[in-house]
Structure 1
Amino acid sequence: MRPLAGLLWIGTLFLTVGRTRQSELSLYVSQPNLNATVEKNVLLSVAYTAKGVPVIRWKHTAAWGTTKIAEWKPGSYTNISDGYGDRVNVYRNGSLQILKVAMRDSGYYLVTVTEEFGTTIYGTILLNVSEIRYEDLHFVAVCFAFLTAVSAVLICLMWLCNKSLHLFQKERHPLPESATEETELQMIGC
């Protein structure tokens, strides 16, 4: 028995179908390209149809090599690689969730669904992880620092002007010594 396999392109959706006389297996990848920012959770969403319960495997491929992420048979067993143990969730429909993605998580994710009869189908998702840009926050911080410095200079200038005006008034209109002595005596109450 020779399996027949095909790949249908529907807009941005992929539907992979593999058929034999004994089994029918299909895999649906809803978003073949995903964009995410650092520290966000990402769902690599797929759905399969099969007569039996298949084995699902996920791998990550990047420039530095291929890494196994998880393998499971829904309702039977789940094996998650040590590097992903606390960072992934697996779902019965074949989907995989990666928690708090990092730049190193960028790359291709290959899902393999293998039925009991040996039929295997593949799906691929490209994940692009980017850093959060703080350019706007940086601009606000620089403007705030500049305005704070300008206000501090203006306050110092106002203080100097006030002191200069006080000294100028004393030089122009000095009080006679007797007037100051009388004022001091009146204040004391003598």
Structure 2
Amino acid sequence: MKNLKILSAVALAAAFFFPPCFSRAQTMDLQHARAQKDLTPALQQSLQDKLSDVSGPYFDEQDEKKAKGQVYIDLLQKFEYLPTYGPHNHLVVSCKLGGVEYNPVKPGTTKGLATGNLKYLVFTYALENGQWVSVTKPKWETQNLGAAGAAQMRKNLARGEQRQATMEKSAETHAAAAAAAAAAQRAADRAGQ
């Protein structure tokens, strides 16, 4: 009898604590648990291999534009991956490749004058039967930073180039000093023999 009272009390407490609609909702959610948000290293590598094949012509196109003195995008070598999971864990990934837009005929930096636009090339792929399949054609997206943003971008790019030049000069000085020290050591070793 005592066990029946304890069991009844536990059942009553559970009924108040876990209402029937809440438990059904939780059951449904557990049946369709969310998939992981990041790509596994193996999936990322296979997607990166696929993208290296299809992105090459876009890099070539921008290099040609720069050589002809046309406005071009200095594309970065690294993709940004934005995975989304649909029903039944169907994986679709938007892959963004971005860069700064430059006008090479106007002075500003060694690359030309930054226009104040950031451009992104977006590739969209879905994983089907272990293979990456293109969902849509690649498309360009533009982010205009406005006049103030363009001025700040130009200032930062010029500062970055100046810092890079200083670092290269410092590295050359250190290399020359190391070479001179090595030569002096060799001369001292020869004199000591």
TM-score range relative to shorter protein: under 0.3
Higher alpha-carbon Rg: 1
Q: Which has the higher strand share?
A: 1
Asked which structure has the greater RCO (Cα within 8 Å, sep 6+), the reply is 1
TM-score by length of structure 1 reads 0.25
Q: Which has the higher helix share?
A: 2
